[in-house]
């Protein structure tokens, strides 16, 4: 039997350091002889998520073989119909599947839970992500995948953009192009403008299409001044032109060896030359959750967001009235989660989603 | 005799539209038979500049042949020892000198006024700007030119950056390189990184120099993902690494035919992937004014900032305790200045700086 742990967070006036000192090893994982059952009411816990003065307190629990009333895993499973998983840092890291994940997903499906995967990475479409899941040996349906490229298309569909007869200018990669093709919205820019520059001579103006009604900005490794200027002209000079950001993540994981500047950079560039705030369609915006609730007729309070980032995933859950679980298998350390500076607290946290079924793996 | 006008702004509870209706044509320039002498106390006017609820009221004045006590031009000249001119939109537009400017500058010098030129354009050094002034037939000293590239170097000198033995990474063009060379601070990046890309393969990390102690971000037509990522790594991973912005202008005038995305885009990109706010050394930051006051021993209240932008030039004057004049020869229209939405008011405004000497040109 492999021992594992699920952790709960609750608001408390007790400072973390004092707690750690008096109850060490409060964060020891897989340790025997630990503390027992913690049965804090969920209502009380929800309030902790955004309470800016709340200090998180960690309580570690070794689970018994049987699920007992009041144990955190049982509570969480009982209260959840839908799990929404962030991908990078939760399902995989870079190009490597996190060990044990296929079995966890199978067991959740067997238990009747509905599963979705959300990712702020807009460089792939749903179809592109399906290939990535396939290549990692994970069987998922395209409809279970909510990439921010799809979210941009879903937003344009929801707002009946096609009816305006206008076009989209893309700062971003192929994922956005593929999703816009699927909904029949004309677009240009993106990879095709990756090697364009501007010619500067007296009297020169970069011509731009006055029929662009929206600029969609996603992560773009080929960002350049031409694209920035083109986007600026559309947003500043075309009346009513929308500025849509797939997401604003500061950093992302292009490779698992370091953090890479994320779409926060591309969106920041366009904000910086227009003074306009974008509509954010990915996390932590509400669009994807509203879409899932409406399309699949699920209850908001019975959805649990599972992610590895406090300021996107957990905040996304909190802002949208969902339960949330932080997994330490990605970018957030337990130290950061439990530090007094952190004001964003999930309902639960785990080492990895393997901890959902600690006794069967 | 050519008639011209200098306009004063004062705080008033009277809405602009009502005033315009009752005193039309309040903004007519060069019109005969107009209103007389306006002798509002300067102390009262200063308060109007940043008062967020103040509504601007325009009073137009036709000047008589002689300067009379209480006339705006006389008042302004009497109270000013130093004129600080923004360049683009004030002295020139793109590559064309604004008509009459050489004569105005000559007359100011003859009247014993000290003159400086400030520009947020960091693509040229002081030396580079001297060439531009020369090519337009304007004789100025390099010491009279305060480009934001020079301001970045002045800041690094003021903070004894050289003593740290560290290097500067540049997102920007040759102006910053030339100014850093003059103060002997080692640097890299800038134009040399203009065609670099990132290679993405599993496990790949972009190596970066841990001895970079400051990233200077100026306007950069060759901005790319490599530079953004390099800057992100230095700022996020090198302890104490500074993030210095030459300026954050949303748009700039690379050519006179349209507005071009300005350094707000480059700075926005780096802010967006680091979450760090930069130290801004150009307008509207105080550095250049403090430098002038200290170096030339002039009185702050006797300095007048002359520019064509409300949110940089006039705000820069107001924030630094200077007088300010808006000229309509650049990007700001009288309509925008006098609209109820505008909360940034100069002490005076003119059609162009030719209005400083309307009777001699």
Average pLDDT of the residues in B63-67? 28
Architecture per CATH, B6-120+285-356:
3-Layer(aba) Sandwich (3.40)
CB A224 within 8 A of CB A192: no
How many H helices and E strands in chain A? 12, 17
**Residue A93, pLDDT score:** 85
| Selection from A77-91, A263-277, B79-93 with the highest mean pLDDT | A263-277
> Two tokens at B320?
């630094």
What dotted CATH number matches B149-280?
A: 3.40.50.1000
Kindly state the percentage of chain A with pLDDT values over 90: 65
Asked whether the predicted pLDDT for residue A87 surpasses 60, the reply is yes
- Three-class SS state of B150: helix
Q: Which two tokens stand for residue A295?
A: 């399309």
The pLDDT score that the predictor gives to residue A194 is: 96
**CATH code at A6-18+41-120+300-356:** 3.40.50.1000
Q: Check residue B12 and give its pLDDT.
A: 36
* Mean pLDDT, residues B59-69: 30
pLDDT of residue A43 exceeding 60: no
Does the predicted interface ipTM exceed a cut of 0.85? Answer: no
Whether B264 contacts chain A with CB within 8 A = yes
Taking the Cβ of residue A278 and every Cβ of chain B, the question of whether any pair is shorter than 8 Å is answered with no
- Higher pLDDT, residue A41 or B232: B232
Query: Closest residue of A to B249, CA-based?
Result: A273
Calculate mean pLDDT across residues A136-141. Answer: 92
Is-same-fold flag (A6-18+41-120+300-356; A149-280)?
A: yes
* Mutate which: A265, A274, A276, A280, vs B, most B CBs within 10 A: A265
Asked if pLDDT for residue A14 goes beyond 80, the answer is no
pLDDT for res A284: 85
* CB proximity under 8 Å: A 96-115 to B: 96
Q: Report how far residue A334's alpha carbon sits from residue A355's, in angstroms, rounded to the nearest whole number.
A: 15
Rounded Cα distance between B309 and A4, Å, is: 62
Predicted local confidence at residue B6, as pLDDT: 60
Of B223, B258, B266, the CB nearest to A205: B258
Judged against a pLDDT cut of 70, whether residue A101 lies above it is answered with yes
Residue A63 has pLDDT above 80, yes or no: no
Single out the residue of A90, A118, A93, A121 nearest to residue A104, CA to CA.
A90
| Over residues B348-357, mean pLDDT | 88
Instruction: Give the residue extent of every domain in chain B.
Output: 6-120+285-356, 149-280
Rg (CA), chain B: 22
Residue A228: both structure tokens together:
């920035």
Does A221 sit within 8 Å of B257, measured CB to CB?
no
* Mean pLDDT of all residues in A146-162: 96
Query: In chain A, which residue ranges form alpha helices assigned H by DSSP?
Result: 16-23, 42-46, 72-79, 101-110, 126-135, 148-158, 174-183, 225-237, 263-274, 287-296, 315-319, 334-338
**Closest-CA distance of chain B to residue A252, Å:** 9
Minimal CA separation from B336 to chain A, in Å: 16
Using CB atoms, pick whichever of A200, A258, A271 lies closest to residue B255.
A200
How many residues does this entry show for chain A? 361
**pLDDT tier at B67, thresholds 50, 70, 90:** very low
Between positions 180 and 239 of A, the ones with CB within 8 A of B are: 197-198, 200-206, 220-225, 228-229, 232-233, 236
Residue B247 binned pLDDT confidence (cut-offs 50, 70, 90): very high
Residue B259, chain A, CB below 8 Å: the answer is yes
């Amino acid at each position: 039997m492999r021992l594992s742990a699920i952790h709960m967070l609750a608001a408390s006036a007790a400072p973390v350091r004092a707690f750690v000192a008096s109850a060490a090893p409060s964060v020891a994982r897989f340790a025997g002889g630990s503390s027992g059952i913690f049965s804090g009411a969920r209502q009380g816990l929800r309030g902790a998520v955004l309470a800016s003065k709340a200090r998180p307190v960690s309580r570690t629990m070794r689970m018994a073989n049987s699920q007992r009333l009041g144990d955190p895993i049982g509570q969480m499973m009982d209260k959840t119909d839908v799990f929404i998983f962030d991908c990078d840092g939760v399902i995989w890291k870079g190009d490597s599947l996190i060990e044990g994940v296929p079995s966890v997903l199978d067991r959740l499906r067997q238990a009747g839970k509905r599963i979705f995967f959300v990712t702020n990475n807009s460089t792939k479409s749903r179809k592109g992500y399906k290939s990535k899941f396939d290549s990692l040996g994970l069987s998922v349906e395209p409809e279970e995948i909510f990439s921010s490229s799809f979210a941009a298309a879903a937003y344009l569909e929801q707002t009946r953009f096609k009816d305006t007869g206008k076009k989209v200018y893309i700062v971003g990669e192929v994922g956005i192009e593929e999703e816009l093709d699927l909904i029949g919205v004309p677009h240009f820019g993106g990879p095709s403008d990756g090697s364009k520059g501007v010619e500067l001579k007296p009297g020169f103006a970069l011509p731009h299409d006055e029929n662009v009604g929206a600029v969609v900005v996603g992560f773009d490794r080929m960002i350049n001044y031409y694209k920035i200027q083109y986007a600026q002209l559309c947003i500043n000079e075309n009346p009513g032109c929308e500025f849509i950001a797939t997401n604003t993540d500061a950093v992302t994981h292009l490779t698992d060896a370091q953090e890479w500047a994320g779409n926060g950079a591309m969106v920041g560039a366009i904000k910086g030359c227009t003074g306009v705030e974008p509509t954010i369609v990915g996390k932590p915006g509400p669009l994807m959750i509203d879409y899932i609730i409406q399309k699949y007729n699920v209850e908001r309070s019975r959805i649990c967001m599972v992610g590895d980032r406090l300021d996107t995933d957990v905040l996304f859950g909190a802002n949208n009235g969902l339960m949330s679980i932080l997994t330490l298998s990605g970018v957030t350390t337990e130290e950061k989660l439990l530090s007094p500076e952190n004001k964003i607290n999930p309902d639960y946290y785990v080492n990895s989603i393997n901890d959902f079924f600690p006794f069967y793996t």
